[in-house]
A and B are shown apart, each in its own frame.
Chain A
Amino acid sequence: MRKKPLNFVKLVFPSRSANESLARSVAAAFVSQLDPTLEELSDVKTAVSEAVTNVVVHAYPDKIGPVEMVLRLHEGNVVEIVVRDKGCGIEDVQKAMEPTYTTGGADRSGMGFTIMGSFMGSLAVRSRPGKGTAVRMQKVIGRAR
C-alpha cells in the first residue's frame, strides 16, 4: 500500500475537446512545484493530452461524459497522473497499446499510448468494456539534476 501523497489535485470535467488544453495546463501547473525542466514539463503535457484525447475520441464516441484526472505528488519527486472515464471501455488493451493501432481512422495516428509510455516512463491501463478505462502514469521529475 502506497503512502499518502504529499499533494494532490482532483479534477472532473466533461469530455469536450476544448478541455484537452485545460487538462494539460492544470497538469503543467501541478508539476511546476517540482521545478521541472522544460522538457519534463512538455513530456507531462503531451502525455496528459494523449490520455484525455483518448477519452474524448474513444471512451465517449457519441456523447459527452465525465473525465476525472487525479494528480498526485509522492516522495522522491514522483508525479502520478490518473485519467479515468466511465465510457465504453477497451476490449483488448494490449492490442490498443500497439503502435499505429487505432479504431479512429485517418484522423488518428495510433501513437497515443506509445507516446504516453515513452514520455512518462511508467504506464498502466485498466479497462472494463461497458464500464470505463483508467490510465495511470508516473514520472520522476528532476532526476537529471
Chain B
Amino acid sequence: MRIAFHAAGASCEIALIGELDHHAARTAMAEIRTRLDQSLPASIDLDMRQVTFMDSSGIALILALYKHVKALDGELRLFSISPPVRKTLAAAGMDKLLDLSA
C-alpha cells in the first residue's frame, strides 16, 4: 500500500493506494501519523478510489483517523468508495459514524 498526502491549510487529502490489510495497515498508519504531525490538519478527506482490497484492519485505521479529527473538532470525509469496500465498512457499522455515499 502507498499513501499520497496533500496538506491544504486546516484540511488534508490522503489517498490510500493498494490493498489495505493488516500487513499494510501497520506501516500505512505509521506514515499517516507522521504526516499528520507535520502538517497538523483538523480535517481529513480520505480518497478510497484506489483501495483494491480492505478488511477489518482498514476499519481500525479509519476509526483511528476518525478519533484523531474528532479530538480536533474536525471532520473525516471518505469519498470514491468502491462497492466491496462499502460493504465491509457497513458490516462493521461504520455507516453510523460516517457518510459512505460518496
Contacts and interface: CB of A to CB of B under 8 A. Distances in A.
A50 B55 contact: yes
Nearest to A38: B84
A88 interface: no
A71 interface: no
B69 to A, nearest CB: 15
Contact of A56 (B22, B55, B59, B63): B22
A99 interface: yes
B45 interface: no
A112 B29 contact: no
Interface residues of B, number: 23
A41 B14 CA distance: 27
Q: Which size bracket describes the interface of A in this complex?
A: 20 to 34
A57 B92 CA distance: 19
Interface core residue of A21, A108, A109 (most chain B CB under 10 Å): A109
Interface stretch (A60-68, A113-121, A127-135, A136-144): A113-121
A118 B23 contact: no
Nearest to B64: A106
Contacts of A77: none
Interface of B: 19, 21-23, 25-26, 29, 53-57, 59-60, 63-64, 83-84, 87-88, 91-93
5 contacts: A20-B22, A38-B84, A46-B88, A107-B25, A109-B92
